[in-house]
């Protein structure tokens, strides 16, 4: 099977089985999405969704959060991973939005990456979810699933994975493909023991073919 055939088969299967694929984070505007994505680093979406309703109510805008304190923010997020660092990043993020972007979340990679707590993956998530721009954020699920299936050739890091996926996945599918791979990795192609018996991608999967 050629790489092009593998990609074609995988995309076709996802299109039929998962026509709607979206983030599982809850949010109501780009600012709140940015908060949720920052909090989701090394933490489950389920946990983030549990704590964000009162956080969003307390901080409806960047202007309100920018005049808060890390201690006040920490009170709302203390049950997530690395709450001290994330509280600091959220306060810095809000101040950056107010000081440099008029209280609005920017919609370019270059500007997003200047914000505290925002790396390339977070910026890419914002581009596809908040602004509907083609991008390919690579988290642990996307990295693992891409390598297992054979969409990438033993990529050594997320940046390499991102480049290869963007090369082979048509632009119109990029944003959806990110969610396809995350959800597949979260529920089927799990880290320790992938549920191959439940997976419809086995005809295209290098990992399965070697079992």
Closest residue by Cα to residue 46 from 78, 24, 15: 24
Annotated active-site residue 176? The verdict is: no
Annotated active-site residue 139? The verdict is: yes
Give the chain's length.
211
Integer Cα distance of 121 and 41 in angstroms: 10
**Residue 189 annotated as binding?**
yes
CA angle centred on 183, ends 181 and 186, rounded to 5°:
105
**Residue 43 annotated as binding?**
no
Which of the following is catalytic: 139, 167, 195, 206?
Answer: 139
Which of the following is catalytic: 86, 95, 96, 121?
Answer: 121
Integer Cα distance of 184 and 4 in angstroms: 20
Q: DSSP 3-state assignment of 48? A: helix
- How many other CB atoms are found less than 10 A from the CB of residue 211? 8
Tell me if 174 sits within 8 A of 8, measured CB to CB. Answer: no
Integer Cα distance of 60 and 49 in angstroms: 16
Catalytic residues: 121, 139
Known binding-site residue numbers: 189, 196, 199, 205
Known binding-site residue numbers for [4Fe-4S] cluster: 189, 196, 199, 205
């Amino acid at each position: 099977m050629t790489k092009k055939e593998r990609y074609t088969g995988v995309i076709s299967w996802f299109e039929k089985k998962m026509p709607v694929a979206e983030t599982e984070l809850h949010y109501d505007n780009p600012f709140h999405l940015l908060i949720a994505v920052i909090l989701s680093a090394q933490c489950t979406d389920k946990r983030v969704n549990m704590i964000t309703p009162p956080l969003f109510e307390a901080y409806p805008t960047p202007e309100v959060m920018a005049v808060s304190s890390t201690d006040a923010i920490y009170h709302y997020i203390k049950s997530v991973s690395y709450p001290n660092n994330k509280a600091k990043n959220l306060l810095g993020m809000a101040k950056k939005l107010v000081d440099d972007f008029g209280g609005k979340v920017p919609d370019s990679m270059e500007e997003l990456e200047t914000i505290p707590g925002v790396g390339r993956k977070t910026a890419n998530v914002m581009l596809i979810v908040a602004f509907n721009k083609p991008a390919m954020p690579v988290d642990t699920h996307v990295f693992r699933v891409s390598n297992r299936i054979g969409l990438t050739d033993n990529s050594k890091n997320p940046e390499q994975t991102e480049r290869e996926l963007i090369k082979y996945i048509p632009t119109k599918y990029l944003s959806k493909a990110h969610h396809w791979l995350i959800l597949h990795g979260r529920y089927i192609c799990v880290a320790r023991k992938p549920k191959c018996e439940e997976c419809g991608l086995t005809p295209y999967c290098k990992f399965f073919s070697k079992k």
